Structure 1
Amino acid sequence: MMLSRFCIYFDEVAKRGSIRRASEHLNITPSAIDRQILMMEEKLGVPLFDRMPKGLRLTAAGEVLVSTIRRWRRDLRNVEAHIDELRGLRRGEVTLALVDGSGEFVTRCLETFSRSYPGIVFHMQLTVSQGVVDRVLSGEADIGLAFNPPERHDVRVERALVYQIGAVMPADHPLAGRNEVTLSECAQHPLVGPDQGNVLRMILDNVWSQTLGELPRFAASASSVTLIKSLVMHRLGIGFLTAIDVATEVASGQLRFVPLTDVKMPLSALSLISAAGRPQSAATSLLIQQLASAMLDENVPHIG
């Protein structure tokens, strides 16, 4: 099924805030996109965008229209997926919004899932937890994985994986043979942590100051879980992550996850979410079942 050119052009401009950037992404001339928008504005009798010095911003009418178009595009994808299921083609598309730190868990699940449903295509978007919620509710993503999503009537938590933070180190580190370790013992070694402003950094700073009376001194800091793991594996220091973050490296023997014993880190939850009341495509429903089952079975060490 074909979507109207206006809907495609309008949605892309709304996402990118610029006709030029939308034209580059769609490989369509800016004049063709601008013409479609101007024609619709004339037909509706209202502007859809405020023309700003540095781009375009949706008007109230534009917000209403883009919400309707995205809902229509999502519903159309669902219809197409259901028709494909009826044909026995097992095709479809699923868009997932993910927080940093959930990627490896998701890709492990997708590896198994794609063997059963090789015709399903996945689109993954990395963002912060609030961004995951926003994209799921706007229809930009079908489902999401977020840390501690807000309790809202329009957000459905399909499954949650509860965990706590532990110390992460190379397998031959002096503390790697321990079943548990204290913060004071970790403080005797170089440390690797998340950047300032990161939620995990704020948790570590708070717990560290309460336990040891000072802030942690990091030999290196990084903006992503992947970079923190790389720094730890290259022996720049002990890192602080969850067992979810390092499951692959622990299984391969590259890293060791050691629970912290002298401090009670706040419990957190990685939650699989969808928009409450929204019909899901067959492909999305199947993937929700796969991810929820994997989260139920996941053996994640944490302090109760």
Structure 2
Amino acid sequence: MLHLTFRQLSVFEAVARHLNYSRAAEEMHLSQPAVSMQIKQLEENVGLSLFEQLGKKIFLTEAGHELYHYSRTIAQQLTEAEAVINELKGVKRGKLKISVASTANYFAPQLLATFIQRFPDVTVSLNVTNRETLLNQLAHNEMDMAIMGQPPDGLDLVAESFMDNPLVIIAPVNHPLVVEKSIPLERLQNETFLVREQGSGTRISMERFFSLHGIRLTTGMEMSSNEAIKQAVQAGLGLGIVSIHTLALELELNRLAVLDVESFPIMRHWFVVHRANKRLSVVSLAFKKFLLDEAAELMAQAS
């Protein structure tokens, strides 16, 4: 019979997820020696090595992979149990674990600030990541809910749209096209576009749009963030396509211009997403209702 503690499993789950003792220690608010001691005691109880070190990196052993699967399930069940108990007690405080696509981070903190003002005893964990990581987190049920662009097919998800997400074409303020109106799509074939990485929601929407209209674009540098694209466009390296929500500062300071192009903006939407079988806590349900009822109007007022 295994004699394991919840503390040992929690520490192990963090190390296995990060494959890094230092990051796990930081997340658990422990020292690295304390984390190492917990793992050592767990391995002694199990009777097998859970990690192996190759060079400076650590990897899960076969036993480690098996225990990681069960430790994640146990952690999720304990979180749900805590939420249920709090509901029965009528507790208004709680935890909210949110992951957002990197582009959504331009507005998500403002929405969370308003929500926390109404529920000051709620603790929020905000994780900003790329689409690929976010989809992996959803697949493994690692957060309460996510804010992202178009959710994928194939995962058992509940996805509800709460706000428009227009994609626009940006250019340096001295670009010749800035003064033109109703620019035909064909004119864009003479320009170089700076694009997001493969798999990005913006990249997917851009490629689908131009393919539908029979337009072949010349693409230059590939970049992993909206900030990098905006800086490169400002430097005159090409045009870019970004969400209008990323441009508030640049437009206010006249650092970038939005081009008036036919059939633009590309209209996408922001979605609040969670696993279909996930039991949402009172706090999670309140935040979801807040997004669906008020987010669009609040962001319009802020703009």
Q: Does 2:37 match 1:32?
A: yes
Output the amino acid matched with 1:92.
G
Residues 172, 257 of structure 2: 8 Å contact kept: yes
Structure 1 292/250 Cα, relative in aligned 2: closer, same or farther at 3 Å? farther
Query: What does 1:206-225 align with in structure 2 at a 5 Å threshold?
Result: 214-218=216-220, 221-225=222-226
Per the alignment, residue 110 of structure 2 pairs with: 108
Per the alignment, residue 168 of structure 1 pairs with: 170
Per the alignment, residue 52 of structure 2 pairs with: 51
Name the CA distance, whole Å, in 2 between partners of 1:121 and 1:102: 20
Secondary structure at the residue paired with 1:167?
strand
Secondary structure at the residue paired with 1:33?
helix
> Alpha-carbon deviation of 1:114?
2.5
Per the alignment, residue 79 of structure 2 pairs with: 74
Output the amino acid matched with 1:95.
K
Per the alignment, residue 10 of structure 1 pairs with: 12
> Alpha-carbon deviation of 1:143?
0.7
Name the CA distance, whole Å, in 2 between partners of 1:154 and 1:208: 30
Residues 21, 32 of structure 2: 8 Å contact kept: no
Per the alignment, residue 260 of structure 1 pairs with: 261
TM-score (norm 1): 0.73
Secondary structure at the residue paired with 2:274?
strand
Structure 1 13/240 Cα, relative in aligned 2: closer, same or farther at 3 Å? same
Per the alignment, residue 157 of structure 1 pairs with: 159
> Alpha-carbon deviation of 1:10?
1.4
Bigger Cα displacement from structure 2, 118-127 vs 57-66: 57-66
Structure 1 136/175 Cα, relative in aligned 2: closer, same or farther at 3 Å? same
Render the CA deviation track for 1:155-201: whole Å, top value 9, x for unaligned: 11133545553212466765446664334445666x55224535444
> Alpha-carbon deviation of 1:240?
1.1
Per the alignment, residue 243 of structure 2 pairs with: 242
Residues 196, 202 of structure 1: 8 Å contact kept: no
Q: CA RMSD in A?
A: 3.9
Q: Does 2:122 match 1:120?
A: yes
Residues 95, 142 of structure 1: 8 Å contact kept: yes
Bigger Cα displacement from structure 2, 193-202 vs 220-229: 193-202
Render the CA deviation track for 1:6-33: whole Å, top value 9, x for unaligned: 1221111221224565356531415412
Deviating beyond 6 angstroms after TM superposition, the runs of 4 or more aligned structure 1 residues are: 209-213
Residues 185, 215 of structure 2: 8 Å contact kept: no
Residues 167, 257 of structure 1: 8 Å contact kept: yes
Per the alignment, residue 286 of structure 1 pairs with: 286
Name the CA distance, whole Å, in 2 between partners of 1:227 and 1:18: 28
> Alpha-carbon deviation of 1:123?
1.8
Residues 160, 270 of structure 1: 8 Å contact kept: yes
Name the CA distance, whole Å, in 2 between partners of 1:208 and 1:277: 37
Residues 194, 240 of structure 2: 8 Å contact kept: yes
TM-score (norm 2): 0.74
The alignment-based identity, stated in percent, is 17
Name the CA distance, whole Å, in 2 between partners of 1:152 and 1:196: 22
> Alpha-carbon deviation of 1:66?
1.8
Per the alignment, residue 99 of structure 1 pairs with: 101
Output the amino acid matched with 2:90.
L
Normalized per residue, which structure has more helix? 2
Name the CA distance, whole Å, in 2 between partners of 1:256 and 1:80: 52
Secondary structure at the residue paired with 1:181?
coil
Residues 161, 296 of structure 1: 8 Å contact kept: yes
Output the amino acid matched with 2:287.
L
